[in-house]
Amino acid sequence: MSLKEYALLLVVAAALAGHVSAIEIPLLLFEDSFETGTFENWDEAQCRWRIGTDSHTGEYAAACIVEGKVDAPGRALIKTLDYTGSYRVEGWFKTTKLGTLTCSSLYILGEVPGKESLLYSLQVIEGGRIGYNQRNESGKHCLYSDEPVVRAGQWHRFAVCYDRDASTQSVWIDGRYLGTSLLRTLSGEPVRPDECISLRIGGGSTWGVGDEPDIAIIDDIRVTTA
Ligand SMILES: [Ca+2]
């Protein structure tokens, strides 16, 4: 029995028992992400994303070389997931170095179709701190953490949970809960519970980190209903 058939069986059984909401259904199951040595599970791999051998699990991971100031969303590795329900994105990431001004070698991005602004659900910035979508009055990113929680050269586990009923996103790094914020676009516009969010995962852009390139790596990406 395939995974899809098994999931369907669980749903039918749960429906018959009247407990549909208690079942977790994998939307995308990427336990072996990139292990085929290709991006075949992904809709589009942009810019300099490539398959690398510095992996968290197995032989391969996805790596992106970031040089100088670049357009961040253009560097994202894209998996289009137009979905209005609640879901959770989990995985592993590593970056080779962290900037002193702004360094973003990992993004978990959402995009609301029909609106130009992206949601920055999780962003590694300023020496290893974690930021999110909105900017404060000074034009700086809002932060989940005042202290650096990400170290260069070290694998970190991330999780982002989208609660669409409450219109919130919550973030964990290495099992540590960092916080919850309202789902708003970069311009501050609220995202309604019935609006689709398209998922993007990737990295990243650097400012003020010199000429040496930064390498962002992601592996074992998994998306499930929450
Ligand atoms: Ca892998």
Question: What pairs with residue 64 in β-bridges?
Answer: 49, 216
Q: Which domain holds residue 182?
A: 25-225
Interval between CA 201 and ligand 1 midpoint (Å): 15
11 falls within a domain: no
Which pairs count as long-range contacts for 133-138, CB under 8 Å and 24+ apart, including other chains? 133/181, 133/184, 133/185, 133/186, 134/181, 134/184, 134/186, 134/188, 135/186
Q: Please say if the pLDDT value at position 106 is more than 90.
A: no
How many residues can be counted in the chain? 226
Interval between CA 65 and ligand 1 midpoint (Å): 18
Consecutive H or E run containing 102: strand 102-104
18 falls within a domain: no
Q: What are phi and psi of 171, to 5 degrees?
A: -130, 135
**Gap between the Cα atoms of 65 and 202, Å rounded:** 11
Interval between CA 120 and ligand 1 midpoint (Å): 25
10 falls within a domain: no
Q: Which residue has the tokens 């400012």?
A: 207
1 falls within a domain: no
Token pair of 127 as six digits: 């020496």
Q: In the chain, what percentage of residues exceed pLDDT 70?
A: 68
Interval between CA 214 and ligand 1 midpoint (Å): 20
Q: Which of 222, 200, 204, 198 is nearest to 92 (CA)?
A: 222
198 falls within a domain: yes
Interval between CA 185 and ligand 1 midpoint (Å): 31
pLDDT at 140: 67
Residues with CB under 5 A from ligand 1 (ion): 55, 57-58, 61, 219
Interval between CA 95 and ligand 1 midpoint (Å): 15
Q: Which of 100, 112, 67 is nearest to 203 (CA)?
A: 67
Which ranges of 138-219 does DSSP label H, i.e. alpha helix? none
74 falls within a domain: yes
206 falls within a domain: yes
**Are the C-beta atoms of 159 and 89 separated by less than 8 Å?**
yes
Q: HSE of 202 in the Cβ direction (CA atoms, 13 Å)?
A: 28
Q: Please say if the pLDDT value at position 20 is more than 50.
A: no
Interval between CA 221 and ligand 1 midpoint (Å): 9
**Are the C-beta atoms of 126 and 102 separated by less than 8 Å?**
yes
Query: By mean pLDDT, which of 77-81, 128-132, 201-205 is the weakest?
Result: 201-205
Number of domains in the chain: 1
CATH of the domain at 176: 2.60.120.200
122 falls within a domain: yes
Interval between CA 216 and ligand 1 midpoint (Å): 14
The maximal CA–CA distance of the chain, rounded, in angstroms, is 60
Question: 145-196, pLDDT tens digit by residue?
Answer: 889 999 989 999 999 999 999 999 999 999 999 999 988 877 778 888 888 8
Interval between CA 38 and ligand 1 midpoint (Å): 11
pLDDT at 99: 60
**Gap between the Cα atoms of 17 and 5, Å rounded:** 18
Query: By mean pLDDT, which of 24-28, 135-139, 188-192, 196-200 is the weakest?
Result: 24-28
Interval between CA 33 and ligand 1 midpoint (Å): 6
- What is the pLDDT averaged over residues 53-81? 76
